[in-house]
Amino acid sequence: MNDEQLLRYSRHILLDEIGVEGQQTLLQSQALIIGAGGLGSPVALYLASAGLGTLTLVDHDTVDLTNLQRQIVHSTARIGQPKVASAAQGLAAINAEVRVEAIQQRADAALLNERVALADVVLDCCDNFATRQAINRACVQHGKPLVSGAAIGFDGQISVFDTRRPGAPCYACLFPPDSPVEEVRCATMGVFAPLVGIIGSVQAAEALKCLLNLGVSLSGRLQMLDARRMEWSEIRAQADPHCPVCARKD
């Protein structure tokens, strides 16, 4: 690291659990963020400010006025721009040395297979069940840790799915692909603005912990937040031996 980097990241470096070596690890790491909206905004902002070497953003949508109530990486001046391009501008304003790859495309199986393989950690910040399942399958296939968050109304949830760990579940162990799911959209249900900031910030923290092998992750633990009461609850889970995605077939 150069002198400017030592100063920029000094508050990380002062932490015994991170130090110079840990910060160097972050500078050489790559995160894949699926979704540049409510959750993707705080995730990308915190990972960029923390000095992640490369952030790959995937989102097919454009910035709309209704997004600005909660999607804090965007701005009024960038309404109508692709979200990934807008986010790249927002991140550059905080930390221009972070490399941002902006991919304006839906996260289909082919794209995920290519991009998950390159990432050190994957963050699911999308808003639909089918894409979540596709992200999970790619992470299981390539053995990459997945930090998954969701938020709607006043309710949020977050977990880490890291099948490199013995007995750890994948997303499909908790939410089977064939289970009936009623898709709920912000446009019809609404979302409490700070909720996505809370969940997204925890996602960023868990991603950094995964990269640094620091502390105890949320692997095997699904945490749920009721923001009306500001009350967390937790469900513990193990790998499903019959999971169609991660169960070993040998």
- Neighbouring CB atoms inside 10 A of 22's CB total 20
* CA dist., res. 133 & res. 83, Å (int): 22
- Neighbouring CB atoms inside 10 A of 144's CB total 22
Q: What is the DSSP string of 163-188?
A: TTSTT---HHHHS-TTS------HHH
* CA dist., res. 10 & res. 234, Å (int): 34
In DSSP terms, which residues pair with 222 in a beta bridge?
Answer: 235
Considering only CA atoms, which of 71, 82, 163, 171 is closest in space to residue 130? 171
Considering only CA atoms, which of 123, 100, 38 is closest in space to residue 73? 38
* CA dist., res. 172 & res. 150, Å (int): 15
* CA dist., res. 200 & res. 82, Å (int): 20
* CA dist., res. 76 & res. 171, Å (int): 35
Please identify which of the residues 186, 210, 243, 246 carries the catalytic annotation: 186
Question: For this structure, is 210 an active site residue?
Answer: no
Catalytic sites, residue numbers: 186
